[in-house]
């Protein structure tokens, strides 16, 4: 036994070490993802046996007006979320001064990032509350009446996205601050000697060194926008009349509230495909960078 | 007694042949230094001896035991790494005793072994420090101490001095030679620095492109390089090489002629088959060329650059039609090393003399040395 | 635009700059200030519509006492701790083991396994929702804290393995060769070399994971329904439904939910930032 172990431990040990993580991750995460694709081809209420209906759920989905509302809202999320990297960079540039007390100010800027999204949702629901909220207060100061943004079909998604942007900007700011910390002093010095200042310095010396960070910030932001669920759930429950639903929320609602697991799985699968295209692109970039010795 | 033996070691990475059949036999107590340009396979060879890399084919024997597939820890080797590879979270003593601790040896035995090694290296007062608190030289000593603690059959060194500054490197060189003498252990040492090879080795192994070019005592390799590569690799400044034609062959000597050079008759090895009209490569070490009066000179050169180093002077001379094909300066100029401070100045034209017994000849076909053996000791 | 260092001597400029930053910070955190101020208000003021005027009386103590005594918030809070702490420990162990293997052993499929860990991490949670919920139902774990713990360990292991693998891969390779040459077995190397060296990474990872898991809302509502197992995030969403316009209490509840990660963040700020950037920059 001992001899067998000694002879084989060079490969047995690593196998045993990676096994718990690999098994748990593949069973709970990866297999579940694949299983969802399978379920999406069935009619299923979660209790009775599944009934094979082929692409029936997808046919229904592509004819469902609510699906297009969700898709449009996801697109709004994606586009508006693209504000996070530039705004994060702007704040990072603003606070990256080495002055006493700056550290504390910096960390105060980080706070939205560590707040639970539920908390952010509640905070902004309060801000948006008609008559009493902060928004109403500001409008009143200017003699106007604030619209009830969360119950207005035209404003609601924008209002939710603005709330979600708050922590996302903070996230991008953290990334950019780290990037600014790692700038090559030599290059900045060389730039100064060559007379680059202000905008030119930013454009030609600083930003080129931040491409890696920008790539990550955009990636994180895209994933964040597509994943959006918590804010919608907490702030509007998809309302009014489904006008603020996104794919993630619509899927949840169909499965948990309407017991249409097959249909929910189909929505999840569409979301997955959108994300997969993105992941594939991102992974190839990352692996290529790794092979270059990054 | 044979301490380490390599038989036909080959290492392939896909279609790339890192080592192409290495044979080497090391006697107990020898200090073998493996040198070669970067990428020649010397580090791979050392890792293969250590067991950190596997061989593609071939056998490794340590004290006559086949260890080709044995785990590194069970081969009876200890290795000193270029970066020292000290564990930053352990004290010096813990670092040195790590191997014994992993083998579950009793604490008293470990402590004794660590103390013994620390005494040899005079680092007993550093035992409780962490690597971060030590200077480069001290870290180097700890790394060597860690090897000594294991009392291995063979010590392996992977460019251990390359991270030290020049002064410290000289000092550690002397200490390593001294350590070798005191321990009497077998050591295999890899470096790209020919000074380390020349000063420390009992025998030097010159590696190039995965093959052994020559094995021998330092002075033997310096005086009798087996081929053009070894001749060019050992010696600083580098040997001057010229393309010349054989004008006559008589009495085991070839007379060389080429434009700008007065005829030189160089003795050949018996094995050499040289005919009149053959092109051969002529090699002359910079220190074999001396300043001479017009009539006695072998060739004349116009001094392009003078480097005054105090105890010696290096000249780079343009010898007109006699162009170097490969030399220190890389410009076709002849490198001349004069063993004293010389008054020669740039732009002067000087006569340069070389004795035929100092001239090397290499075959243009296979680059082997075809000039006769030279005595290793010249006085 | 690149921030030229403001010179030490230009006091006037520095003051102006600090005032500017503080001004922006106030706007930035205004929503938070609004909720904090509201959590200080008395119920009478809130019911009477006096939300921004000078308070007639303070409700600070009353509000926070009410949150803990009149609602299951204390229970939720305890649940959150019971879920988060074992999850974090579990992820740290699994990801150190897996990260070590992926960083230090070359085997066919190494890159594939790594890519799966990383890729799985980007999956939308909804794609796993139905099967995971079904799995927990079948395992009789639905509506228990174990369900959440198992899921969080499984999911966060993806990110954490990426994190640990990159950290261990960045350690000098010669340390591992030295350990091998000294006769250490892979397991001895893990215990005596890897674990001591990755401590800073573990600290950074631990606080990140704590934040992620504590803040999770989606899985809390998918896998739990009872008050006895629900974490604070799902609990807070519940309370909002019950209290509707008792904004002083909702605000106090929100602060309670938000506090632990914020406190962790301020206590271990350096680790948090290194962790976040290390994880993100490499992945």
Q: Which residue has the tokens 């639905």?
A: C142
Q: Tell me, what's the pLDDT at A292? A: 64
Burial grade of B64 (CB within 10 A; 0-12, 13-18, 19 or more):
exposed
Residues C264, C140, single domain; the answer is yes
How many residue pairs bridge chain B and chain C with CB atoms within 8 Å of each other?
65
- Tens of pLDDT, residues C55-107: 777 778 888 888 888 888 999 999 999 999 999 999 999 999 999 999 988 88
- C212 — pLDDT class (breaks 50, 70, 90): very high
C100 and A CB contact within 8 Å: yes
- Tens of pLDDT, residues C130-186: 999 999 999 999 999 999 999 999 999 998 998 899 889 988 889 999 999 998 988
What region does C10 belong to: left with phi over 0, alpha with psi -120 to 50, or beta? beta
Q: Tell me, what's the pLDDT at C279? A: 58
Q: Which residue has the tokens 């895209």?
A: A222
Chain C, 171 to 210: residues with Cβ < 8 Å from chain A are: 185-187, 190
Asked whether the beta carbons of residue C125 and residue A229 sit closer than 8 angstroms, the reply is yes
Residues of chain A positioned with their CB less than 8 A from the CB of C119 = 279, 283
Residues of chain C positioned with their CB less than 8 A from the CB of A213 = 281
| Domains held by chain C: number | 2
**Residue A98, both tokens:** 């080495």
Of C31, C154, C257, the CB nearest to A118: C257
Q: Say how far apart CA A59 and CA A51 lie, in whole Å.
A: 16
Residues of chain C positioned with their CB less than 8 A from the CB of B89 = 196-197
DSSP strand E in chain A: where?
A: 42-43, 51-52
- Domain assignment present for A18: no
Residues of chain B positioned with their CB less than 8 A from the CB of C184 = 73, 98-99, 102
CA nearest to A230, candidates C130, C244, C219, C265: C219
Contact A264, A37 (CB under 8 A): no
Asked whether the beta carbons of residue A268 and residue C233 sit closer than 8 angstroms, the reply is no
Q: What is the pTM of this model?
A: 0.84
Of A9, A94, A216, the CB nearest to C281: A216
Q: Are strands B313-318 and B334-338 parallel, antiparallel or unpaired?
A: antiparallel
CA nearest to B370, candidates B288, B257, B281, B276: B281
Asked whether the beta carbons of residue C197 and residue B77 sit closer than 8 angstroms, the reply is no
Instruction: Give Cα A258 to chain centroid, integer Å.
Output: 26
C184 and B CB contact within 8 Å: yes
CA nearest to A6, candidates C185, C274, B322: C185
Domain enclosing residue C20, as ranges: 11-68
Domain boundaries, given as residue ranges, for chain B: 2-232, 233-363
Of B51, B83, B102, the CB nearest to C188: B102
Helix (H, G, I), strand (E, B) or coil at A42: strand
Q: Least CA distance to A137: which residue of chain C? A: C52
Q: At what angle do helices A211-227 and A65-81 cross, to 10 degrees?
A: 150
Asked whether the beta carbons of residue A137 and residue C95 sit closer than 8 angstroms, the reply is no
Contact C253, C237 (CB under 8 A): no
Q: Say how far apart CA A245 and CA B120 lie, in whole Å.
A: 76
* DSSP codes, chain C: ---PPPPTT-HHHHHHHHHHHHHHHHHHHHHHHHHHHHHTB-HHHHHTT-SSS--SSB-HHHHHHHHHHTSTHHHHHHHHHHHHHHHHHHHHHHHHHHHHHHHH---TTHHHHHHHHHHHHTS-THHHHHHHHHHHHHTT-TTSHHHHHHHHHHHHHHHHHHHHHHHHHTS-HHHHHHHHHTT--HHHHIIIIIHHHTHHHHHHHHHHHHHHHHH--HHHHHH--STTT--HHHHHHHHHHHHTT-HHHHHHHHHHHHHHHHHHHHHTHHHHHHHHHHHHHH-
Number of Cβ atoms within 10 Å of the Cβ of B302: 14
What percentage of chain A's residues is helix, strand, coil (to nearest 5)?
75, 0, 25
What CATH code is carried by the domain that includes residue C193? 1.10.3720.10
Q: Which residue has the tokens 């000193």?
A: B80
Q: Tell me, what's the pLDDT at A209? A: 84
C54 and A CB contact within 8 Å: no
Asked whether the beta carbons of residue C183 and residue B74 sit closer than 8 angstroms, the reply is yes
Q: Say how far apart CA B287 and CA B338 lie, in whole Å.
A: 6
Q: Tell me, what's the pLDDT at C267? A: 85
Q: Per CATH, is B233-363 categorized as 2.40.50.140? A: yes
Residue C280, pLDDT > 60, answer: no
Number of Cβ atoms within 10 Å of the Cβ of C180: 21
Q: Tell me, what's the pLDDT at C2? A: 56
Of B72, B82, B90, the CB nearest to C180: B72
Helix (H, G, I), strand (E, B) or coil at A31: helix
Of C177, C182, C197, the CB nearest to B102: C182
In angstroms, the Cα distances linking C93 to A100, A119, C90, C96, C200 are 39, 30, 5, 5, 14
ipTM of the modeled complex: 0.89
Q: Least CA distance to B94: which residue of chain C? A: C192
- Tens of pLDDT, residues C244-261: 778 888 899 999 999 999
Chain C contact partners (≥3 CB pairs within 8 A): A, B
- Tens of pLDDT, residues B236-266: 889 999 999 999 998 889 998 888 888 889 9
**CATH value of B2-232 in 2.60.120.10, 3.30.230.10, 3.40.50.300, 2.30.30.100:** 3.40.50.300
From first to last of the 294 residues of chain A, give the pLDDT tens digit: 677 777 777 778 888 999 999 999 999 999 999 999 999 999 998 888 899 998 999 999 999 999 999 999 999 999 999 999 999 999 998 888 777 778 888 889 989 999 999 999 999 998 998 888 888 888 888 888 888 889 888 899 999 999 999 999 999 998 898 888 888 778 877 877 777 777 778 888 888 888 888 888 888 899 889 988 999 999 998 878 889 999 999 999 999 999 999 999 999 999 999 988 877 887 687 677 766 654
Q: Tell me, what's the pLDDT at C1? A: 43
In angstroms, the Cα distances linking A257 to A253, A260, B315, C231 are 5, 8, 92, 21
Q: Least CA distance to C15: which residue of chain A? A: A99
CA nearest to C129, candidates C117, C140, C142: C142
What 3 state SS string does chain B have? CEEEEEEEEEEEECCEEEEEEEEEEEECCCEEEEECCCCCCHHHHHHHHHCCCCCCEEEEEECCEECCCCCHHHCCEEEECCCCCCCCCCCHHHHHHHHHHHCCCCHHHHHHHHHHHHHHHCCHHHCCCCHHHCCHHHHHHHHHHHHHHCCCCEEEEECCCCCCCHHHHHHHHHHHHHHHHHHCCEEEEEECCHHHHHHHCCEEEEEECCEEEEEECHHHHHHCCCEHHHHHHCCCCCCEEEEEEEEEEECCEEEEEECCEEEEEEEECCCCCCCCCCEEEEEECHHHEEEECHHHCCEEEEEEEEEECCCCEEEEEECCCCCEEECCCCCCCEEEEECCCCCCCCCCEEEEEECHHHCEEEECCCCEECECCCCCCCC
Asked whether the beta carbons of residue C127 and residue A116 sit closer than 8 angstroms, the reply is no
C195 and B CB contact within 8 Å: no
Helix (H, G, I), strand (E, B) or coil at A16: helix
Q: Tell me, what's the pLDDT at C274? A: 72
Q: Say how far apart CA A111 and CA A125 lie, in whole Å.
A: 18
Chain C, 95 to 154: residues with Cβ < 8 Å from chain B are: none
Q: Which residues contact B321 (CB under 8 A, 6 or more apart)?
A: B258, B259, B260
> How far A145 CA sits from the closest chain C CA (Å)?
16
Number of Cβ atoms within 10 Å of the Cβ of A237: 16
Residues of chain C positioned with their CB less than 8 A from the CB of A134 = 30-31, 34
Q: Least CA distance to C186: which residue of chain B? A: B102
Q: Tell me, what's the pLDDT at C115? A: 86
Q: Tell me, what's the pLDDT at B328? A: 67
Q: What is the DSSP letter of A149?
A: G
| Domains held by chain A: number | 1
Asked whether the beta carbons of residue C175 and residue B87 sit closer than 8 angstroms, the reply is yes
Domain enclosing residue A71, as ranges: 36-291
Q: Tell me, what's the pLDDT at C186? A: 87
Asked whether the beta carbons of residue B103 and residue C174 sit closer than 8 angstroms, the reply is no
C193 and B CB contact within 8 Å: yes
**Residue B250, both tokens:** 């008589």
Q: Which candidate in C11, C123, C143 is best for mutational testing of the A interface (most A CBs within 10 A)?
A: C123
Q: Say how far apart CA B302 and CA B317 lie, in whole Å.
A: 5
What CATH code is carried by the domain that includes residue A182? 1.10.3720.10
Helix (H, G, I), strand (E, B) or coil at A241: coil
- Tens of pLDDT, residues A268-279: 999 999 988 877
Q: Tell me, what's the pLDDT at C122? A: 80
Asked whether the beta carbons of residue B88 and residue C182 sit closer than 8 angstroms, the reply is no
Q: Tell me, what's the pLDDT at B332? A: 85
Q: Say how far apart CA A292 and CA B333 lie, in whole Å.
A: 40
Residues C105, C208, single domain; the answer is yes
> What is the maximum alpha-carbon separation in chain B?
78
Helix (H, G, I), strand (E, B) or coil at A52: strand
Q: Which residue has the tokens 């990297």?
A: A85
Q: Tell me, what's the pLDDT at C283? A: 35
Residues C110, C203, single domain; the answer is yes
Residues of chain C positioned with their CB less than 8 A from the CB of B78 = 181-182
Ordered mean pLDDT values, 10 residues apiece, chain B (379 residues): 91 91 94 92 93 92 92 90 91 93 93 94 92 91 93 93 89 92 94 92 94 95 94 91 90 86 89 87 93 85 91 90 77 89 88 92 92 84
Residues of chain C positioned with their CB less than 8 A from the CB of A269 = 127
**Residue B275, both tokens:** 């005919």
Contact C223, C240 (CB under 8 A): no
C150 and A CB contact within 8 Å: yes
CA nearest to A225, candidates A123, A79, A115, A67: A79
Residues of chain A positioned with their CB less than 8 A from the CB of C151 = 28
Peptide bond into A240 cis (omega under 30): yes
CA nearest to A225, candidates A173, A278, A267: A278
Q: Which residues contact B24 (CB under 8 A, 6 or more apart)?
A: B4, B5, B6, B32, B205, B212, B215
Q: Say how far apart CA B164 and CA B175 lie, in whole Å.
A: 14
Residues of chain B positioned with their CB less than 8 A from the CB of C182 = 73, 78, 98-99, 102, 146, 150
Residues of chain C positioned with their CB less than 8 A from the CB of B88 = 197
Q: Which residues contact B7 (CB under 8 A, 6 or more apart)?
A: B23, B58, B59, B60, B61
**H or E segment to which residue A107 belongs:** helix A102-114
> How far C123 CA sits from the closest chain A CA (Å)?
7
> How far C182 CA sits from the closest chain B CA (Å)?
5
Residues C272, C144, single domain; the answer is yes
In angstroms, the Cα distances linking B52 to A233, C56, C186 are 56, 77, 13
Of C22, C129, C233, the CB nearest to A255: C129
Asked whether the beta carbons of residue C177 and residue B85 sit closer than 8 angstroms, the reply is yes
> How far A99 CA sits from the closest chain C CA (Å)?
8
For CA atoms B177, B179, B184, B185, the dihedral sign is negative
């Amino acid at each position: 036994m001992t001899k067998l172990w000694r002879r084989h431990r060079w490969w047995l040990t690593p196998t045993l070490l990676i096994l718990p993580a690999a098994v748990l991750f593949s069973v709970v995460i990866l297999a579940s993802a694949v299983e969802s694709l399978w379920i999406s081809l069935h009619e299923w209420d979660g209790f009775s046996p599944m009934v094979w209906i082929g692409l029936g759920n997808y046919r229904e989905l592509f004819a469902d007006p609510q699906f297009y509302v969700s898709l449009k809202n996801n697109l709004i999320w994606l586009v508006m979320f693209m504000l996070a990297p530039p705004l994060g960079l702007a704040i990072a540039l603003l606070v990256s001064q080495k002055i006493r007390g700056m550290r504390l100010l910096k960390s105060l800027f980080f706070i939205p990032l560590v707040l639970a999204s539920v908390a952010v949702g509640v905070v902004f629901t309060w801000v948006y509350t008609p008559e009493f909220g902060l928004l109403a207060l500001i409008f009143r100061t200017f003699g106007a009446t604030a619209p009830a943004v969360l119950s207005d079909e035209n404003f609601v998604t924008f209002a939710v996205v603005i709330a979600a942007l708050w922590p996302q900007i903070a996230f991008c700011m953290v990334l950019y601050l780290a990037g600014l910390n790692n700038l090559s002093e030599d290059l900045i010095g060389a730039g100064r000697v060559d007379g680059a200042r202000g905008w030119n310095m930013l454009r030609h010396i600083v930003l080129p060194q931040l491409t890696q960070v920008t790539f990550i910030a955009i990636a994180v932001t895209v994933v964040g926008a597509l994943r959006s669920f918590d804010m919608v759930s907490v702030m509007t429950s998809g309302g009014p009349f489904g006008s603020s639903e996104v794919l993630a929320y619509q899927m949840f609602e169909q499965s948990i509230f309407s017991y249409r697991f097959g249909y929910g799985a189909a929505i999840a699968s569409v979301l997955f495909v959108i994300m997969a295209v993105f992941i594939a692109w991102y992974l190839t970039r990352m692996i290529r960078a790794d092979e270059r010795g990054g | 007694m044979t301490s380490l033996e390599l038989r036909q070691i080959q290492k392939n990475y896909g279609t790339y042949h890192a080592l192409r059949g290495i044979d080497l036999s090391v006697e107990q107590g020898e200090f073998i230094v493996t040198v070669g340009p970067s990428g020649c396979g010397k580090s791979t060879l050392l890792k293969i001896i250590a067991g950190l890399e596997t061989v593609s084919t071939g056998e490794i024997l340590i004290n006559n035991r086949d260890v080709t597939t044995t785990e590194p820890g069970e081969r009876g080797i200890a290795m000193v790494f270029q970066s020292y590879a000290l564990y930053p979270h352990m004290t010096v003593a813990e670092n040195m005793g790590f191997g014994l601790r992993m083998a579950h040896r009793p604490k008293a035995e470990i402590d004794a072994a660590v103390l013994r090694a620390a005494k040899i290296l005079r680092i007993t007062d550093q035992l409780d420090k962490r690597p971060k608190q030590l200077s480069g030289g001290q870290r180097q000593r700890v790394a060597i101490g860690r090897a000594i603690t294991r009392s291995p059959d063979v010590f392996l060194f992977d460019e251990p001095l390359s991270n030290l500054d020049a002064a410290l490197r000289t000092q550690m060189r002397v200490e390593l030679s001294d350590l070798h003498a005191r321990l009497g252990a077998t050591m295999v040492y890899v470096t790209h620095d020919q000074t380390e090879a020349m000063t420390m080795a009992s025998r030097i192994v010159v590696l190039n492109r995965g093959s052994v070019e020559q094995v021998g005592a330092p002075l033997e390799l310096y005086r009798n390089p087996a081929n053009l590569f070894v001749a060019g690799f050992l010696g600083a400044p580098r040997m001057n090489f010229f393309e010349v034609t054989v004008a006559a062959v008589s009495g085991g000597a070839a007379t060389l002629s080429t434009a700008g050079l007065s005829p030189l008759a160089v003795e050949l090895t018996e094995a050499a088959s040289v005919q009149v009209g053959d092109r051969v490569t002529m090699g002359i070490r910079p220190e074999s060329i001396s300043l001479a009066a017009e009539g006695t000179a072998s060739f004349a050169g116009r001094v392009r650059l003078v480097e005054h180093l105090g105890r010696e002077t290096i000249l780079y001379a343009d010898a007109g039609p006699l162009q170097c094909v490969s030399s220190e300066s890389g410009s076709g100029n002849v490198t001349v090393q004069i063993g004293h401070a010389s008054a020669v100045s740039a732009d002067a034209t000087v006569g340069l003399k070389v004795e035929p017994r100092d001239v090397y000849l290499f075959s243009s076909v296979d680059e082997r040395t075809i000039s006769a053996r030279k005595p290793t000791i010249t006085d | 635009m690149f921030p030229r260092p403001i010179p030490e001597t230009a006091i006037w400029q520095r003051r102006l700059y600090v005032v500017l930053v503080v001004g922006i910070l106030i706007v930035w955190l205004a929503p938070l200030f609004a909720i904090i101020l509201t959590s200080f208000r008395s119920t009478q003021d809130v019911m009477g519509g006096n939300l921004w005027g000078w308070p007639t009386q303070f409700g600070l103590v009353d509000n926070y006492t009410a949150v803990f005594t009149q609602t299951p918030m204390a229970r939720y809070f305890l649940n959150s701790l019971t879920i988060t702490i074992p999850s974090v420990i579990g992820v740290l162990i699994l990801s150190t083991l897996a990260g070590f293997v992926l960083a230090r052993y070359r085997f066919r499929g190494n890159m594939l396994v790594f890519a799966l860990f990383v890729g799985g991490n980007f999956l939308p949670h909804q794609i796993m929702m139905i099967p995971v919920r079904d799995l927990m139902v079948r395992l009789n774990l639905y509506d228990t804290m174990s369900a959440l713990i198992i899921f969080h360990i499984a999911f966060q292991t993806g990110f954490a393995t990426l994190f640990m693998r990159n950290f261990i891969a960045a350690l000098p390779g010669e340390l591992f060769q030295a350990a091998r040459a000294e006769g250490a077995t892979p397991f001895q190397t893990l215990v005596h070399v890897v674990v001591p060296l990755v401590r800073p990474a573990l600290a950074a990872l631990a606080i990140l994971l704590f934040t992620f898991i504590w803040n999770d809302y989606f899985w809390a509502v998918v896998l739990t329904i009872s008050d006895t197992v629900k974490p604070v995030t799902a609990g807070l969403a519940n309370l909002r439904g019950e209290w509707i316009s008792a904004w002083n209490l909702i605000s106090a509840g929100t602060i309670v939910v938000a506090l632990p990660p914020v406190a962790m963040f301020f206590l271990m700020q350096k680790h948090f930032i290194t962790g976040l950037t290390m994880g993100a920059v490499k992945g």
